[in-house]
């Protein structure tokens, strides 16, 4: 019962803040709503006993990504010299696309029946996760690292002083 109530509360927060992200005109407010939405996602992870994912969600998304977005807003605003506002001119098209996506997800969920109860977690999930990443999934893990390295090199290339 408590689980349902918590999930409902989290869902309201999540959907509400996600809507506020796209609907608020003030770009800075949109970022703050995004921070709330990402924190709410961490709450959902926590509800599913995925503590490690919840902590990483907070650390990387709510902490890191928000910082970088805020940084980008401030820097670009200074370059343009005026307050940035978010426009909602294509709200109809956006609503249509999200409705189609929703229908798609509902369709998929209906075709694959979900278990009624969550299987009990008997092992230390964090430890298992760490072991799997470094044994069975070591190749994708390393490939991701290479991808990040390429991204960083690209960023440094663009940021280099003009000569």
Partner 1 sequence: MPSWLLLLLVPFVVLNVVIGMVTYVTLLERKFAARMQSRIGPYRVGPHGLLQPIADALKLMMKEDIVPDAADRTVYNLAPIVFLIPCMLIFATIPFAPGLGVGDVNIGILFFLAVSAMEIVGLFMAGWGSNNKYALLSAMRAVNQIISYDLPFIFAALIPVLLTGSLKLGDIAAAQQGSLLKWFILYPVIGQLAFVMFIVSTLAAENRVPFDILEAESELVAGFRVEYSGMKFALIQLGEYAHMIGSSFLGALLFLGAWSGPGPEYLGPLWFLLKAMFVFLLVTWIRWSFVRIRVDQILALSWKALLPATLMLLISTAVVVVWRTGGF
CB 37 within 8 Å of CB 18: yes
Only segment of 1-9, 31-39, 109-117, 150-158 that touches partner 1 (CB under 8 A): 31-39
Round to whole Å and give the CA distance between 125 and 118.
15
Provide the mask over 70-109, with x wherever binding to partner 1 is found by CB under 8 A and - wherever it is not: xx--x-----------------------------------
Residue 47 found at the interface with partner 1 (CB under 8 A): no
Task: Tell me which of 7, 13, 16, 29 binds partner 1, using CB under 8 A.
Answer: 29
Residue 137 found at the interface with partner 1 (CB under 8 A): no
Tokens standing for 100?
């189609």
Residue 58 found at the interface with partner 1 (CB under 8 A): yes
Dihedral pair phi/psi, residue 38, rounded to 5°: -70, -35
Angle of CA points 136, 137, 142, to nearest 5°: 130
We find the least distance from the C-beta atom of residue 127 to partner 1, in angstroms, to be: 9
Longest C-alpha distance within the chain, in Å?
65
Residue 62 found at the interface with partner 1 (CB under 8 A): yes
Residue 151 found at the interface with partner 1 (CB under 8 A): no
Angle of CA points 36, 37, 41, to nearest 5°: 115
Least Cα distance to 129 among 47, 45, 58, 61 occurs for: 45
Residues that bind partner 1 (CB under 8 A): 26, 28-29, 32, 35, 39, 51-52, 55-59, 62-64, 66-68, 70-71, 74, 124, 126
């Amino acid at each position: 019962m408590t689980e349902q109530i918590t999930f409902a509360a989290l869902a309201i927060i999540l959907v509400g803040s996600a809507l506020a992200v796209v609907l608020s005109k003030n770009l800075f407010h949109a970022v703050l709503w995004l921070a709330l939405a990402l924190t709410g996602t961490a709450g959902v992870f926590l509800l599913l006993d995925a503590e490690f994912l919840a902590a990483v969600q907070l650390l990387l998304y709510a902490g890191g990504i928000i910082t970088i977005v805020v940084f980008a807003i401030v820097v670009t605003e200074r370059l343009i010299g005026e307050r940035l506002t978010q426009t909602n001119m294509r709200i109809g098209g956006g609503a249509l696309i999200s409705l189609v996506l929703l229908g798609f997800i509902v369709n998929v969920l209906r075709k694959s029946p979900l278990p009624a109860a969550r299987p009990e977690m008997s092992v230390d999930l964090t430890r298992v996760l760490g072991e799997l990443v470094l044994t069975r999934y070591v190749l994708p893990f390393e490939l991701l690292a290479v991808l990040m390295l390429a991204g960083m090199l690209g960023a440094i290339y663009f940021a280099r002083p003009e000569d």
